[in-house]
Structure 1
Amino acid sequence: MAKPANVPSPAPDTESPAQPVAVPLGVDNPLALDRQLCFALYQATNRITRAYRPLLDALGLTYPQYLALMVLWEGAPLTVGDLGSRLDLDSGTLTPLLKRMEAAGLVARRRDPADERRVLVDLTPAAWALRDKALAIPGAMLCRFPVPLDEVADLRDRLHQLAAALGAG
C-alpha cells in the first residue's frame, strides 16, 4: 500500500533496538500455531459453526439462538440467570440475544411471580414448532464428522471435562 503524499516519513529512531527477525524454532517451537490447543479448538469451532449454518438458516436461526433454544427445550421456563449459566454467557451477551429472539416470536420474557427480581424466559408456540424441525440437525451434523461416533462422544466428554476444569480455576 502506498504512503499518502502529504504524510511525512517518520524520522529514523536511532535509540530503539533493531526489530527482531522471525526465526523458525523447529518442532520444539512453543509458539508454533499448530501446537496450540487454543487454535485447534478455535479452528474446529469455526468449522463446526459453518457446518451448522445451512441447517440453521433453513430454520431462520443463528447458532447462538439454536443453543439457547436447546437449553429451553430441555426445561423452559428458565430464569435469565439459569439460561446464562447453562450457556456460559454473561447478561451483556445474553440480553441482546433474548431481545432478538423475542422480536422473532421465539421467546417471551416475564417477571417471576415468586420473585419480581428474576426474569423468566419461556418458549412460544413458534419455538416449540421449530423443535420438531430441529430434531434432524444433530443427526445431520454427526454424518459430517469423519470419525466414529464413539470417538466424537469421547471428544465431547473430554472437552466438557476440560471446560469444567478451566471453570474451576
Structure 2
Amino acid sequence: MTDPLGVRRQVCFALYAAQRALTDVYRPILDEFGLTYPQYLVLLVLWERDAAGDGRTPPTVSELGAALRLDSGTLSPLLKRLEVAGLVRRRRSTRDERRVEVTLTDAGLALRQPMCQVPRRVVEATGLTEAELVGLRDTLTRVTETIHRATERS
C-alpha cells in the first residue's frame, strides 16, 4: 500500500524542490550581473513596462509588489539595493505624495540586452524543451490563479 503522506507523493514538495533547483540554476547566472533572483524579477517587470511604451506612469512600489506577489517589507530593501547599484530610481509621485514610483535608470535599461541570455541558459539547464517549459509555466500559472481566486473568496 502506498503511503498518501509520503513526501515524494506531495505536489507541494515537488514544487518546493523544483523551485529550489531553479534558484540554484539562476544564482550563478545572475551573480555574473551582480543581481539576486528577486532583483531580477523586479527588473523584468520594469523592462516589460518600459518595452510596452504605452505612456503609462511608472509603476509604484505597491504595483510592483502586486505584480510579483511581494510585500513592501520585502520589496523596499530590494529596491533600495537596486537604487544603490544605479539600476532604478525611486521618487514620490507628483500627483500623490503617498505613492512612490520606480523607474529604470540608463544603466538599468542598458542591462536588459545582456540579460536576454538568461532564459536560454535556464532552458538549457533544465533539460526540458522550450515547449515543455511553456506548458509547465502555463499549468503553474493556472494553479496559482485558481488558488488565489479561491482564497480571495474565502
TM-score, length-scaled by structure 1: 0.81
Distance 1:126 1:74 in 2: 16
Indicate the residue corresponding to 1:117 in structure 2: 98
Quick check: 2:89–2:103 contact (8 Å CA) kept in 1? yes
Quick check: 2:89–2:105 contact (8 Å CA) kept in 1? yes
TM-score, length-scaled by structure 2: 0.88
Map 1:64-143; keep pairs closer than 5 Å: 64-76=38-50, 77-143=58-124
Letter in 1 for 2:83: E
User: CA shift at 1:54, angstroms?
Assistant: 1.5
Runs (4 or more) in structure 1 with deviation over 2 Å come to: none
Identity of matched residues, %: 50
Structure 2 unaligned spans of 5+: 51-57
Indicate the residue corresponding to 1:154 in structure 2: 135
Name the larger-Rg structure. 1
Distance 2:100 2:122 in 1: 33
User: CA shift at 1:149, angstroms?
Assistant: 2.1
Distance 1:148 1:137 in 2: 15
User: CA shift at 1:121, angstroms?
Assistant: 0.5
Output one character per residue of 1:65-109: Cα deviation in whole Å (capped at 9) or x when no partner: 001000011115211111000000011111111111111111110
User: CA shift at 1:30, angstroms?
Assistant: 2.2
SS in 2 for 1:122: strand
Indicate the residue corresponding to 2:15 in structure 1: 41
Q: Which has the higher helix share?
A: 2
Indicate the residue corresponding to 2:53 in structure 1: none
Output one character per residue of 1:116-165: Cα deviation in whole Å (capped at 9) or x when no partner: 11110111111111111101111111112222322211110010001111
- The count of aligned residue pairs is 143
| Root-mean-square deviation over aligned CA pairs | 1.1
